[in-house]
Structure 1
Amino acid sequence: MQAVDDDKALGMKVMKLSRMLRLRFDRRVQPLGLTRAQWQTIACVRRRPGATQRQVAELLEVGEVTVGRSIDKLVEAGLVERRSDPADRRAHRIWLTPAIEPLIGELTRIGAAEEAAALAGFDAQEQALLHAMLDRITANLGGDAVEAVTCKPERR
């Protein structure tokens, strides 16, 4: 049986790249006083405004207590708010507040700079091809099912 070269395995490359991107972004947002859990929560609520805490936890693939702590800190900072769900007295929906707008702008700027760094040396055609190939891999692996459990905006 031939050994698998981890450096050539697609899953390992994608995992390594994902980790590198997250760690670089973490370092860049640290001066803003955000933890990874907080910026991921912000990103999720931005894409799914009005999601319940349970939905946010599911979308981020973490426990409700974990996401609850993140939301608590963001509420304390005035960046998100919990609103009662009129259809379910026990549930609260999570919304970004206007106070978060400058932070969203900075997170967006940092994200764009990190993407530019990652794609340095790729021309526009190569970037488009890379995105198309990644989309194709996603579709090959049942991307519709993945989209349903990620913080992508809901299709209307």
Structure 2
Amino acid sequence: MTQSTLGFVLHDVARLMRKRFEQWARAAGLTRSQWQVLAKLSIHEGIHQKGLADLLEIESVTLVRLLDKMQERGLIERRNHPTDRRYSLLFLTPAAHPLLQFMRTIGEQTRLETMADFSIQEHDQLLQYLERMREHLLTACGQPVDEPTGCAASEVKHG
């Protein structure tokens, strides 16, 4: 029997939460990529395409195709940059706002399903642990990587 590792379990829980959210989102006719664009754009309205692509960690070409489909559906609009004609700025249309509210609702539904039998104390404690772990990793990611330690690391290094 394989013992679960922290990284595997965290990754799998996040994957399953996304999968469940996607099941709900399909009811509104949204793909995962589209709801990610809507979510980021709701926070960063007026951003240019390259900036949004960077936030989403996708290629600009991929984003352009998504934006074209979303513009055809009437969810976003491109406006000319006031001083630089090379850029268009992205904004949500009024039609996008009910979808954003729906996304927030299904996000809450997914969280409720995920934490169904957790007490308030367990929920809060888990969140505190995860926030602490995130802080440790943010600190570690800001540091240079040292030589790996341990038996497995020396086997990888020396073949």
Pairwise same-fold verdict (TM > 0.5):
yes
Residue-by-residue CA offset, 1:39-61 (whole Å, 9 max, x unaligned):
11111111222221111111111
Alignment of 1:16 onto 2:15? no
**Aligned residue pair count:** 141
Structure 1 runs not aligned, ≥5 long: 147-156
Tell me the distance in 2 between the aligned counterparts of 1:88 and 1:139.
39
Against the structure 1 CA distance between its residues 88 and 6, is the aligned structure 2 distance closer, same or farther, given a 3 Å change threshold? farther
Give the TM-score normalised by structure 2: 0.81
Alignment of 1:86 onto 2:89? no
Alignment of 1:116 onto 2:112? yes
Identity across the alignment (%):
36
1:6–1:12 Cα contact (<8 Å) kept: no
Which of the numbers 51, 65, 71 marks the counterpart of 1:69?
65
Amino acid paired to 1:47: I
Q: Which position in structure 2 is the counterpart of 1:27?
A: 23
Structure 2 runs not aligned, ≥5 long: 143-159
By how many angstroms is 1:70 displaced?
A: 1.1
SS in 1 for 2:116: coil
Q: Which position in structure 1 is the counterpart of 2:150?
A: none
By how many angstroms is 1:89 displaced?
A: 2.0
Q: Which position in structure 2 is the counterpart of 1:153?
A: none
Higher radius of gyration, 1 or 2:
2
Residue-by-residue CA offset, 1:24-69 (whole Å, 9 max, x unaligned):
1111111211111101111111122222111111111111111111
Tell me the distance in 2 between the aligned counterparts of 1:28 and 1:127.
23
Q: Which position in structure 2 is the counterpart of 1:52?
A: 48
Tell me the distance in 2 between the aligned counterparts of 1:44 and 1:7.
37
Tell me the distance in 1 between the aligned counterparts of 2:57 and 2:9.
21
Q: Runs (4+) of structure 1 moved beyond 3 Å?
A: none
By how many angstroms is 1:9 displaced?
A: 2.0
CA RMSD of aligned residues (A): 2.0
State the structure with bigger RCO (CA 8 A, min sep 6), 1 or 2. 1
Give the TM-score normalised by structure 1: 0.82
Residue-by-residue CA offset, 1:10-34 (whole Å, 9 max, x unaligned):
2211211111111111111112111
